[in-house]
Copies of this chain bind each other. A is one copy, B any other.
Amino acid sequence: MPDSVHVSTQFDEDLARLRTHVLHMGGLVETQIAASIEACISGEVDRVRAIVDTDRKINDLEKAIDDDCAHIIARRQPIASDLRLILGISKIVTDLERSGDEAKKIAKGVRRIHEAGTLPKQYGIGIRHLAEAALSMVHQALDAFARMDGALALNVIRADVEVDVEFKSIIRQLITHMMEDPRTITTSIDIMAIARAIERIGDHAKNISEQVVYVVDGRDIRYDKGAIK
Nearest chain-B residue to A66 (Cβ)?
A: B220
- Give A198 Cβ to nearest chain B Cβ, in Å: 15
> Inside 8 A of A122's CB, which chain B residues have their CB?
none
Contact assessment for A70 and B83 in the assembled complex, using a CB-CB cutoff below 8 Å: yes
CB distance from A83 to the nearest CB of B (A): 6
| A91 at the B interface (CB under 8 A) | yes
- Chain A 163-199, CB-CB to B under 8 Å as 1, else 0, gives 0000000010001001100100110010010000000
Contact mask A44-84 → B, CB, 8 Å, 1/0?
00000000000010010011001101100110011110011
A36 sits at the interface (CB 8 A): no
Interface size range of chain A in the complex: 20 to 34
Bound Cα distance A79, B69 (Å): 12
A83 — which chain B residues lie within 8 A by C-beta? 70, 73-74
| Contact with A91, one of B79, B80, B90, B192 (Cβ below 8 angstroms) | B90
Q: With A182-B178, A220-B63 in contact, is A73–B70 under 8 Å at CB?
A: no
A23 within 8 A of B: no
A136 on the B face (CB < 8 A)? no
* A-B CB contact pairs (8 Å), 15 listed: A59-B223, A63-B222, A66-B87, A70-B83, A73-B87, A74-B79, A74-B80, A77-B77, A87-B90, A90-B91, A175-B185, A175-B186, A178-B185, A179-B185, A185-B185
